Structure 1
């Protein structure tokens, strides 16, 4: 399997990092997938269109999975067809198999995301196949995607810990990331799915990742189950990561990871990054408005501390327009 190959490469040793951070918004997919209240298609379209006006460069729009397993994604094709595609914004979609890829190509998707995990148990729960079987499935998807000139992003779940197997070994995660890059992923997002990461653990993992490739190839995807997401983000920044996934209003969770809460809130991430003097190109005030909009639609409390702190009567009026 992927662990049999060497993955150490000759890399530059530089601590000169960019002041620009790319924020990948995953709210419409990772954020909504675990919500029990089914959101109507027009609301999802409006949600994504609002996000498109904030300055984001990447918005993960939906997932072409079976609605039997993820009911919220029942309308993925209609959502993708109806959203306004803003110039300069990418709208990747998550793909579990060749059938999902076929549907994505039919609606004109330009970028896909594929996913794996270093945990055998999580793989069986999440993809209904073993790690080896999932690797073969990804190879098939990537081969077909390349024929259609699609760009491919990779996801690795449970990079720190798994709800079934406990702690994950950094070397195993690194080997899997190396395999995804070799298969053709331009970028690999490293996901702390159950939110058990700490700065020490994140630093240890990134030390292994540096042996795989330049850290510019990797994103960090933190869930905030234990309130460690911003601290972990700081560690990632200090190590050189400049791509972070987040979900507006702190939406999220995983159907196959009991107890896992939402992603780090995009509003909280933006406030932190901007106060550190870093650039994102994203308007925080507009993002706050979107966070309150989708929270109202879901009839649930906004999980973003910054979003709630910046809430004003004027903001509420704009949300309700």
Structure 2
């Protein structure tokens, strides 16, 4: 790996959407707005604010319009919303998000389970969403769920990933997110998949959305960087989860990612101390322990005072 990388690593915090949607108790609207405003000042490149799914499908995000209209935007931050379909696109137009995000399952079984559509039907729907976005001068990111593993089909042939990437490319999309939806990917798979995609589409900005379900998210980040990926999703405190792995951890924690990048002198422009302060507030807000290792243990460069005398460990 090139440890002397000079490129900036762009970090998008998806906690306000992908993280909070998994919480059992409704998070007050004003608290969501406070969280987004705080994250906006940390130096992150982007924030996934909310999702325009039907409120009955995801009650936690039923206040999407209110949140989006009341956040304090920073010029340096790209604010995005997840747009699942044409109805979501119609709702998104007046919100003036910087980017709309699509999410498409590359496997048939997951597509039918998640969207109640076949892969091709889902892509047709996305074509209509992209048309609306283009008419309103909004950029679109194409997302590929289950690209690195499917809960119903297991390993996913690269051809399935390529099929969706080519479809997005033909729609004019030049930012594509690759998701390890259930956290089953390994560094070799991440490297080979991303290298092949980047070689095939050199003018596309690829990002990685990695879950830490099995503890390999940071290793997979490094594999992605080695392949040429410079854009990563992360979630404050590691918020999120996996519906197919009850009790599993969520997305790679933003503070864990930034801590690793800082130690390696890989520039992200994100302030770790601010993230740690926000994580404390988030833990109080959600009412349960966060999965972030740096939130719990502190940065590895944190110095503790040496004891004046020997301190024996309790039995």
- CA apart distance, 1:213: 1.1
Question: Greater Rg, structure 1 or structure 2?
Answer: 2
Number of positions where the alignment pairs a residue of Structure 1 with one of Structure 2: 297
Q: Distance in 1 between matches of 2:264 and 2:3?
A: 17
Partners of 1:18 and 1:242 within 8 A in 2: no
Q: Distance in 2 between matches of 1:15 and 1:52?
A: 28
The normalised TM-score by structure 1 is: 0.88
Q: 1:165 aligns with which of 153, 156, 169?
A: 153
Q: Which residue of 2 aligns with 1:57?
A: 45
| 1:231 equivalenced with 2:219 (yes/no) | yes
Q: Which residue of 2 aligns with 1:67?
A: 55
- CA apart distance, 1:205: 1.2
Summarize deviations over 1:128-160 as a string: whole Å, max 9, x none: 211111010000000111000001111101111
Summarize deviations over 1:269-300 as a string: whole Å, max 9, x none: 00111111111111000011111211110001
Q: 1:205 aligns with which of 186, 190, 193?
A: 193
For the residue of structure 2 that corresponds to 1:32, the secondary structure is helix
Q: Which residue of 1 aligns with 2:290?
A: 302
- CA apart distance, 1:176: 1.2
Q: Which residue of 2 aligns with 1:251?
A: 239
Q: Which residue of 1 aligns with 2:27?
A: 39
Gaps of 5+ in 2: 300-315
Q: Which residue of 1 aligns with 2:64?
A: 76
- CA apart distance, 1:248: 0.6
Q: Distance in 2 between matches of 1:108 and 1:242?
A: 26
For the residue of structure 2 that corresponds to 1:244, the secondary structure is strand
The structure-2 alpha-carbon separation of the partners of 1:102 and 1:254, relative to structure 1 and needing over 3 Å to count, comes to: farther
Summarize deviations over 1:44-70 as a string: whole Å, max 9, x none: 000101101111120010000011111
Partners of 2:149 and 2:156 within 8 A in 1: yes
Gaps of 5+ in 1: 1-13, 312-321
For the residue of structure 2 that corresponds to 1:91, the secondary structure is strand
Q: Which residue of 1 aligns with 2:10?
A: 22
Q: Distance in 1 between matches of 2:119 and 2:203?
A: 24
| 1:289 equivalenced with 2:292 (yes/no) | no
Q: 1:273 aligns with which of 245, 254, 261?
A: 261
The normalised TM-score by structure 2 is: 0.90
